[in-house]
Amino acid sequence: MSLINSILKGASLLTAALSQTSTNGLSLWGTLDAPLLSFFDTTFSTTSPFGANDTLATTPPWSGRTKTYDWTISRGYIAPDGVNKSVILVNGQFPGPLLEANWGDTIQVTVRNNIPDEGTTVHWHGFLQKGTPWMDGVPAGSQCPIAPGSTFVYKFTADQYGTSWYHSHYSSQYSAGLFGPIVIYGPMHADYDIDIGPVMLHDWYHPDYYEVVERLFAVPPDPLAANNNLINGKMDFNCSQLLVNASCTPNAGISKFSFQSGKTHRLRLINPGSEGNQRFSIDGHTLTVIAVDFVPVEPYDTKVVYVGVGQRTDVLVKGIGKTGDAYWMRSNFSQLCASSPSHQPYAVAGVYYQGANTNARPGTTAYPFNETNCLNDPLNTTTPVVPMTPPSGPAVTQTININYIINGSGMFLFTMGGNSFRADYNTPVLLVATNSSASPAASNATSIYPTDWNVNTFGTNSSVRLIITNSITVSHPMHFHGHNFWILAEGNGNWDGTITNPSNPIRRDSFLMGASNAVGPAYTVIEYISDNPGVWPLHCHVAGHSSTGLYINILERPDLLSQDPQIPGYLSETCDPWNKWTSSHLVDEIDSGE
Ligand SMILES: *[C@@H]1O[C@H](CO)[C@@H](O)[C@H](O)[C@H]1NC(C)=O
Ligand SMILES: *[C@@H]1O[C@H](CO)[C@@H](O)[C@H](O)[C@H]1NC(C)=O
Ligand SMILES: *[C@@H]1O[C@H](CO)[C@@H](O)[C@H](O)[C@H]1NC(C)=O
Ligand SMILES: *[C@@H]1O[C@H](CO)[C@@H](O)[C@H](O)[C@H]1NC(C)=O
Ligand SMILES: *[C@@H]1O[C@H](CO)[C@@H](O)[C@H](O)[C@H]1NC(C)=O
Ligand SMILES: *[C@@H]1O[C@H](CO)[C@@H](O)[C@H](O)[C@H]1NC(C)=O
Ligand SMILES: *[C@@H]1O[C@H](CO)[C@@H](O)[C@H](O)[C@H]1NC(C)=O
Ligand SMILES: *[C@@H]1O[C@H](CO)[C@@H](O)[C@H](O)[C@H]1NC(C)=O
Ligand SMILES: *[C@@H]1O[C@H](CO)[C@@H](O)[C@H](O)[C@H]1NC(C)=O
Ligand SMILES: *[C@@H]1O[C@H](CO)[C@@H](O)[C@H](O)[C@H]1NC(C)=O
Ligand SMILES: *[C@@H]1O[C@H](CO)[C@@H](O)[C@H](O)[C@H]1NC(C)=O
Ligand SMILES: [Cu+2]
CB 168 within 8 A of CB 179: yes
Closest listed ligand to the CA of 86: 2
**CB 444 less than 6 A from any atom of ligand 10:** yes
Q: How many Å apart are CA 111 and CA 122, to the nearest integer? A: 8
**CB 31 less than 6 A from any atom of ligand 10:** no
Burial class (CB in 10 A: 0-12, 13-18, 19+), 542: buried
Residue nearest to atom 5 of ligand 3 (CA): 53
Q: Are residues 337 and 443 in the same domain?
A: no
Q: Concatenated DSSP letters for 501-532?
A: STTS--EESEEEEPPPBTTB-EEEEEEEES--
What's the confidence (pLDDT) of residue 50? 58
* 143 belongs to a structural domain: no
pLDDT at 444 over 60: no
531 Cα to the center of ligand 9, angstroms: 26
Q: Are residues 332 and 447 in the same domain?
A: no
Per DSSP, what are the bridge partners of residue 253?
none
In total, how many domains does the chain have?
A: 2
Residue among 201, 229, 227 at smallest CA distance from 212: 227
Per residue in 361-382, pLDDT (tens digit) is 999 999 999 999 999 999 999 9
Burial class (CB in 10 A: 0-12, 13-18, 19+), 188: middle
List the domain range (segments joined by +) for residue 552.
396-582
Sign of dihedral through CA atoms 506, 196, 122, 69? positive
* 513 belongs to a structural domain: yes
How many other CB atoms are found less than 10 A from the CB of residue 391? Answer: 11
Report the CATH number that the domain containing residue 536 is assigned in CATH. Answer: 2.60.40.420
pLDDT at 556 over 80: yes
CB 520 within 8 A of CB 494: yes
Per residue in 131-173, pLDDT (tens digit) is 999 999 999 999 999 999 999 999 999 999 999 999 999 999 9
Q: How many Å apart are CA 556 and CA 460, to the nearest integer? A: 8
Cα angle, residue 314 at apex, residues 363 and 26 outer, rounded to 5°: 75
Q: Please state the atom number of ligand 7 nearest to the C-alpha of residue 378.
A: 1
**Mean of pLDDT values over 452-471:** 96
**CB 411 less than 6 A from any atom of ligand 8:** yes
Q: Are residues 360 and 413 in the same domain?
A: no
**CB 565 less than 6 A from any atom of ligand 6:** no
**CB 368 less than 6 A from any atom of ligand 6:** yes
Q: In the Cβ-directed half-sphere of 128, how many Cα atoms lie within 13 Å? A: 23
* 306 belongs to a structural domain: yes
Confidence (pTM)? 0.95
Q: Are residues 323 and 420 in the same domain?
A: no
Q: Are residues 539 and 454 in the same domain?
A: yes
Most informative mutation of 84, 85, 86, 242 for ligand 2 (most atoms within 8 A of CB): 84
Q: Are residues 353 and 431 in the same domain?
A: no
437 Cα to the center of ligand 10, angstroms: 17
Q: Are residues 426 and 327 in the same domain?
A: no
**CB 366 less than 6 A from any atom of ligand 8:** no
* 142 belongs to a structural domain: no
How many other CB atoms are found less than 10 A from the CB of residue 405? Answer: 14
Residue nearest to atom 12 of ligand 8 (CA): 408
Closest listed ligand to the CA of 328: 5
pLDDT at 325 over 70: yes
What's the confidence (pLDDT) of residue 500? 98
380 Cα to the center of ligand 7, angstroms: 6
